[in-house]
Every structure is written in C-alpha cells, then in structure tokens.
C-alpha cells in the first residue's frame, strides 16, 4: 500500500517518545508524573494483557513485523527472537532476569586496553537499580549477591520458589567450588503493589497476562498512562525534525495506522525505539546542517554495536525434575566467572554470567526439541519422551568487546514509507569465540559434577543475543553520541534511551540496567527541563 | 484466590484457532481438523503439500496427521505481521510463501537427482532418512534453494510446532500445559 504524502500536524507537546518499550515507558512515566504532556509513538499494536495467550505459536505475534533489517557479516545479527513490536516492546516477552552489571564493567579500556570505558561507574547506577527494584518489584536475595558486588538495598520480595530443574545444579557448582545465588528476577514471589504472585507455569516468554511479571504494561507504561501520557500505536516514525539552524529537534515525522503522514512537534524528542532503529532514524534525519545524520559529527552513530552470546549445556536425569515448572527466568545465577580474564588460559577475554533452571518449553526456538537439533524421526520422538521430565539446562551468557566495524548503516533498499532499510553488519572477534568455547568446557564440567545421566554441550552457530551500542555514551562528541544520561552531545533536546547507549555490554541480561539508566536519564531531564527544553 | 481458581479465571479469556476457508466461509479450526476435513489449500499446490507432509512426517512422527501442510498453507496465506511461523523468528523475509515454495522445490529437485527422478514423498523410509541426514549437514548434491541445513531446521521447527507445541502435544508427552490464557481448540 502506498503511503499517503499529505501531512497532518498535531498539537505541540512537551515530549514525544519514539517507542513504548522498556526505556520509553520509564521516560514517559517520569515525565508525565512531572506534569509534562507526553506522547509515545509505537510502531506496533497496543497489546493488552488479554492478548498474551499461553502458546509458543501465539507468542510470535509479539515479535517484529515491520520492515526487515538486512543482516551481513561473519555472524549476522539475528534480531527477531529478542526484539519487540508493540507496547511493552521486547520487555513484553522478556525473561525478566534482573542481574546488574559489576564494577569491573565500567573501565574495561583503562584496565585492560580493550573495548571502551563508560563515563560513569557502578556507584552512579546503583541507586537506580535499587529504585527500579522498588518500582517494579524484584524477587531475590541481595545479601547472597554481595559476594560478587557492593552492598545495596534488599530486594522488596524474597527469592522465587525453586524446582528440580534448578536445584540439581547446586551439586555441580558446589563440587567445583563455585557459588550460586537465588536469581534476582522481575517477577513477584508474593503479591506486590496490587499485582499477584507468580503461578510458576513457565509461560513468561509469551507474555504474562496476570501481571506477576514486571512488563511495561503493568509497571511504567501503566503509570505513564495513568499520569496522562498518550500512546499512539501503529505510528511509524521516519524522521526527527530539526530547526532551520540545526540547533534543536522540533519533533518527528511519522505515518499513522492509515498510512497518513503526520508531524508531532515537541520541545524534547526521546528516541527509545531500539538499538538498531534509533541510529537508523538519526541517519535518515540528515539535513544540510547535519549532513551525516543527527548528533553524528563524530561519525559514531550506528557504530560499536555489541551482542551477547551464550554457551548452553544440557543435562538429562533419570529423575522427574518437573522441568516445565517455574519461570523462563533463571532459578539461580552465578558471577563466579565474571573476571574479564577468567578464561585467559584459553585465549578468551570478557565476562561470563551463568544462569540455571529456566522452565522448559517443548517447541519453538528455545524449546527442548532444539536441545538436540541433529535428531529427527523416531530418535527425536524417543528423546522428547525422555526429556519431558528429565531435561535441564545451564546457560553461560558472555560479552564481546565493542569494535567500530560492528555497525548499522542505511541500505539502498527502502521500506513502504520510502525510508532506507537498516543494514546490520556483525562479526565476533577471536576473544569472543574463545570465550564461547571455554564456556562450553566449563559448562560440561559443572554438568558432569551434578550426577546427570547424560551431559552434552549445545554447540551450534554462535548466537547473537540482545543488541547494545550504536549510540554509545561518553565524555564528549569526539568519542561518543550521548552523555551518561542519554542526552546527545550535539542537540540538547534530542535524547536516546535504551541499551544503545551502553559502551560495553557486560555479560548479564540488559533490561534491569536499561530501566535504571532510563530512570536516571529521565530524572535528570526533569531536573534540567528549562535548560534542555528551552 | 488460589492458583487453580486463578487459572480457571484466566482461561475464559481465550482467543485462538486459525481461520481456514471452506467454500466462501472462514471457519476456525486446528490444522489437524483442517486436514481431517480436507480443507482446500489457498497457496500451496497439492504436490507441494504432499512433499511437505512427507518431509514433516519424516522429521517428526505425527506431523502429517497434525496438519503441517494445512498449518503452513494457512500461515503463508495471511499477512506476514499476523503469521505465527518460526520463519518469522528466523529472519526469513516475507512473503513466507516464497521460502516454502523454494524449499519444497529444492527438496524434490535434490531427491529426483539422487533417486532416479523420484520426489521425496516417493522414497522409502530408509531413503528419506538418509536424504534428511545429508540435508541437515548441507551435504546433498544438486540442492538448489535456501541453505539445506536451514531448510531442515525450519521445517523441523514447523513439524515440532504442530506435534509438540500444542496442548495435545504436551498431553502426549505427559506434562501439564498450565496455560494462563488457553488457546482454544487445544491449539
């Protein structure tokens, strides 16, 4: 369907936020509660809890369905599984693991001569992790985690219940002298702020309709709406508009559900679309004053993309582990391999974060059937019968160091609105490949120590998990796109939210840090509103 | 409210099933029911469906009767943004029908080249097994289409979906489905 090029202009607002996922929802809640008129433009549907059917089939509706990103490089970035589409974004179907970064994540370049430094430290974010925990509800044992990290506030809820699929890993870790802690998760172990406790049914990854899991619909986005923020679904933003002198963002151009071109003027523009979509928008917003795209005099918009990867280890027990019970989040986690040089003897560099005991599903990409992708026919059927009650998995997430060659840029192909498609180029370097392999060896060693009947590494193509970077934070426009709050160095009223501002990724799941940084950024924006918005 | 009551409460909110066309009417059926009722294909040809059924059954026993070809046909006949296919997750570029046509064509082309003009569905069970084992390892000669290993993985995922991803599939494995919001008609 051809786009309609007639343009409608809406009443000017204080803030327009592009994307109603995890980070955009935080900005919306903080700004709306501060009395600002907020509009969120979301390219996908406005999901309701009643849409969240407990099915791996129906859960796929929550994944991107817009124009594709073109994928290139030695390790093409497979993004659809983990990206979002619609209100709540990826945090509508995330696993709700809530680990935080550790102090050794923030000065990797200075300490090791690899990667990049953050312009802030652990202590700058720590109060915001604690605030987020109180806002959305986190279950866990903060004291137990303090063997790895500085002390902080206790979590507002005790750890979740555990089941056989998680408990069996304690023996393996213990035999190797390694430590496990109850996992910190954004799921209610008991009723919290009017939301019920978890039922441990294992359907978190297709959306939790009862609100036990802290997705944006029942946390920050809900609060934002209550405070008056307006959400416009099926609104596809194509450009950020700037003033004639190039000094200010003036709003955005978008296409509505009817393919009608619209303009939303605003005093402040927050790009909270996605780590790949934000750079695509900035590059597509070039003008004579910003010939290389917005906030891009350094040429760094779209650069230093990073991905996590994971080495999974499978274990099959004769006992009934009830592996279908629990949550898709971990039951236990460990930072014991978090030192950047933990696997130095194997030529690896980077941190590893281990999780154990996620509830198992039986189909779909992460399901039990893909624990042995080589099996088919009668052998697969026999494996499935056995795995139904005896299978569990340990996953070692790890980080790659940012390199400028991992990037997003505009392609020559265009989408239905005439906007160039984004092209993501990605390859893992030798440090990362060595880390991937080392974590299989360690995983198998741990699994064998559990006493499992069968143990095997889930080797396959090196996966790309989460997407970070592309609009990294730093000290100046010479080395980065934004400051530590997400404010672009070059256009004071253009802000970036989300993991795109991470200079390095660390190894843990990023959402907890996304929420904390967004809260820190949004509060800073409110505190400096007059100077920023003019 | 206890756990059983809360589950029962949520069950009532279900939507689901897939819309198949019989005559001029859209009816909501599971793929298994669509197959049993011989619902006409909208996008796949009869020959393509035969190959897809045979491949699905060889990959995951039970996939044919579970309606793999009806499932794929229905899914490639609706807008990509509504599709529930694993192809969506694995970065296949819409329209998905193009992928399935190319995949089925590659399977039968390679089968004909290897087995004296016979399509995959015409092979003996042992021949099908050997063919798939080469296919998954990208070792088939005369393969012309999307990567053989990728086609193996994706069609296997579809077959796993219809056999094990349903409420019936969980029941067959002897594990509880435990839905918050149940898909209707065991789907």
> Residue B187's pLDDT is what?
52
| Rounded distance between C-alpha atoms, residue B169 and residue A495, angstroms | 47
> Of residues B44 and B23, which shows the higher confidence score?
B44
Q: How far is A61 from chain B (nearest CA, A)?
A: 6
Mode of pairing for the β-strands spanning A4-18 and A260-271 = parallel
Q: How far is B74 from chain A (nearest CA, A)?
A: 13
Are the Cβ atoms of B164 and A80 closer than 8 angstroms? no
| Rounded distance between C-alpha atoms, residue A157 and residue A151, angstroms | 17
Residues of B (166-185) whose Cβ lies below 8 Å from A: 169-170, 173-183
Instruction: Give the confidence band of B18 by pLDDT, cuts at 50, 70, 90.
Output: confident
Asked if residue A429 lies in contact with residue A476, where contact means CB atoms within 8 angstroms, the answer is no
Which of B160, B166, B185 should be substituted to probe chain A, the one whose Cβ sees the most A Cβ atoms within 10 Å?
A: B160
Q: How far is B38 from chain A (nearest CA, A)?
A: 23
Asked if residue A140 lies in contact with residue A98, where contact means CB atoms within 8 angstroms, the answer is yes
Within an 8 Å CB–CB cutoff, is residue B18 touching chain A? Answer: no
Selecting from B88, B161, B183 the residue whose C-beta is nearest the C-beta of A63 gives: B88
SS3 state of residue A184: coil
| Rounded distance between C-alpha atoms, residue B102 and residue A308, angstroms | 32
User: Residue A265 belongs to what domain range?
Assistant: 4-147+154-533
Indicate the burial class of A337 (C-beta count within 10 angstroms; 0-12, 13-18, 19 or more).
buried
Domain ranges, ordered by start, for chain B: 3-186
The helices-and-strands tally (H runs, E runs) of chain A is 12, 17
Which residues of chain A make contact with B176, given a CB cutoff of 8 A?
324
Whether pLDDT at B12 is above 70: no
Which residues of chain A make contact with B89, given a CB cutoff of 8 A?
60, 63, 80-81, 364-365
All residue ranges of chain A with pLDDT < 50 are 1-3
Q: What percent of chain B has pLDDT over 90?
A: 70
Instruction: Give the confidence band of B17 by pLDDT, cuts at 50, 70, 90.
Output: low
Tell me how many domains chain A contains.
Answer: 1
Residues in chain A: 534
Which chain B residue has its CA at the smallest distance from A201's CA?
Answer: B178
Per-residue pLDDT reduced to its tens digit, A269-300: 999 999 999 999 999 999 999 999 999 999 99
Which chain B residue has its CA at the smallest distance from A76's CA?
Answer: B91
Q: What percent of chain A has pLDDT over 90?
A: 96
Instruction: Give the confidence band of B21 by pLDDT, cuts at 50, 70, 90.
Output: confident
How many cross-chain Cβ pairs, A to B, lie less than 8 Å apart?
Answer: 147
- What is the b/e burial string over A342-358, where b = at least 16 CB atoms within 10 angstroms of the residue's CB? bbeeeebbbbbbbbbbb
Selecting from A203, A369, A374 the residue whose C-beta is nearest the C-beta of B164 gives: A369
Whether pLDDT at B1 is above 60: no
Asked if residue A467 lies in contact with residue A276, where contact means CB atoms within 8 angstroms, the answer is yes
Which residues of chain B make contact with A60, given a CB cutoff of 8 A?
83-86, 88-89
| Rounded distance between C-alpha atoms, residue A496 and residue B122, angstroms | 57
CA B77 to chain centroid, in Å, comes to 14
> Residue A9's pLDDT is what?
85
């Amino acid at each position: 369907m051809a786009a309609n090029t007639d343009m409608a202009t809406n009443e000017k607002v204080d803030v327009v936020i592009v994307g109603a996922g995890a980070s955009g929802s935080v900005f919306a809640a903080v700004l709306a509660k501060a009395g600002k008129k907020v509009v969120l433009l979301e390219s996908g549907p406005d999901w309701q809890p009643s849409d969240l059917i407990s099915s791996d089939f129906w859960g796929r509706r929550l994944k991107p369905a817009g124009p594709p990103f073109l994928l290139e490089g030695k390790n093409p970035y497979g993004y659809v599984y983990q990206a979002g589409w619609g209100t709540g974004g990826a945090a509508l179907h995330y696993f709700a693991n809530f680990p935080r970064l550790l102090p050794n994540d923030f000065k990797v370049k200075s300490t090791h001569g690899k990667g990049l430094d953050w312009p802030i430290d652990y202590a700058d974010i720590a109060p915001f992790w604690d605030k987020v925990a109180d806002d959305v509800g986190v279950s866990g044992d903060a004291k137990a985690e303090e063997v790895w990290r500085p002390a902080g506030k206790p979590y507002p809820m005790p750890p979740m219940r555990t089941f056989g699929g998680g408990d069996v890993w304690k023996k393996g870790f213990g035999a190797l002298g390694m430590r496990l802690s109850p996992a910190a998760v954004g799921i209610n172990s008991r009723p919290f702020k009017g939301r019920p406790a978890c039922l441990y049914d294992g359907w978190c990854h297709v959306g939790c309709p009862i609100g036990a899991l802290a997705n944006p619909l029942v946390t920050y986005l809900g609060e934002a709406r209550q405070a008056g923020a307006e959400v416009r679904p099926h609104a596809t933003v194509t450009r950020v508009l700037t003033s004639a002198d190039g000094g200010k963002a003036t709003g955005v151009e978008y296409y509505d559900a009817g393919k009608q071109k619209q303009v939303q003027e605003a005093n402040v523009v927050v790009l909270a679309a996605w780590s790949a979509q934000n750079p695509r928008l900035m590059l597509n917003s070039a003008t004579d004053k910003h010939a290389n795209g917005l906030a891009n005099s350094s040429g760094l918009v779209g650069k230093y993309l990073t991905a996590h990867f994971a080495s999974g280890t499978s274990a099959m027990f004769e006992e009934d582990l009830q592996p279908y019970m629990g949550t898709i989040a971990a039951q236990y986690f460990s930072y014991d391999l978090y030192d950047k040089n933990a696997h130095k003897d194997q030529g690896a560099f980077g941190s590893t974060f281990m999780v154990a005991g996620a509830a198992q599903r039986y189909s779909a990409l992460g399901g039990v059937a893909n624990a042995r992708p080589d099996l088919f026919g009668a052998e697969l059927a026999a494996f499935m019968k056995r795995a139904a009650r005896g299978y569990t998995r340990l996953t070692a997430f790890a980080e790659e160091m940012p390199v400028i060659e991992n990037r997003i840029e505009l392609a020559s192909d265009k989408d239905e609105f005439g906007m160039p498609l984004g092209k993501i180029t990605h390859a893992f370097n030798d440090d990362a490949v060595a880390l991937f392999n080392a974590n299989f060896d360690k995983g198998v060693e741990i699994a064998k120590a559990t006493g499992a009947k069968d143990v095997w590494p889930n080797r396959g193509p090196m996966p790309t998990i989460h997407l970070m970077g592309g609009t990294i934070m730093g000290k100046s426009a010479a080395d980065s796109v934004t400051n530590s709050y997400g404010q672009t160095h070059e256009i004071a009223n253009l802000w970036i939210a989300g993991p795109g501002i991470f200079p390095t990724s660390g190894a843990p799941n990023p959402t907890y840090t996304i929420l904390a940084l967004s809260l820190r950024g949004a509060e800073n924006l409110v505190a400096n509103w007059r100077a920023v918005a003019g | 409210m206890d756990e059983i009551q809360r589950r029962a409460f949520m069950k009532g909110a279900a939507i689901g099933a897939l819309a198949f066309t019989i005559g001029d009417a859209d009816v909501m059926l599971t793929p298994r029911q669509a197959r049993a009722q011989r619902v006409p294909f909208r996008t796949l040809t009869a020959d393509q469906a035969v190959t897809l059924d045979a491949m699905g059954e060889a990959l995951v026993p039970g996939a044919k009767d579970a309606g793999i070809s009806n499932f794929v046909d229905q899914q490639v006949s609706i807008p990509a943004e509504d599709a529930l296919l694993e192809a969506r997750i694995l970065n296949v570029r819409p329209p998905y029908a193009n992928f399935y046509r190319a995949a089925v064509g590659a399977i039968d082309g390679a089968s004909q080249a290897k087995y004296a003009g016979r399509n995959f569905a015409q092979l003996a069970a042992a021949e099908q097994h050997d063919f798939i084992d080469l296919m998954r390892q990208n070792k088939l000669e005369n393969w012309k289409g999307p990567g053989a290993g990728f086609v193996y993985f994706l069609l296997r995922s579809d077959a796993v979906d219809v056999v094990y991803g349903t409420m019936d599939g969980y029941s067959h494995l002897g594990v509880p489905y435990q839905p918050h919001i149940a898909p209707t008609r065991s789907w």
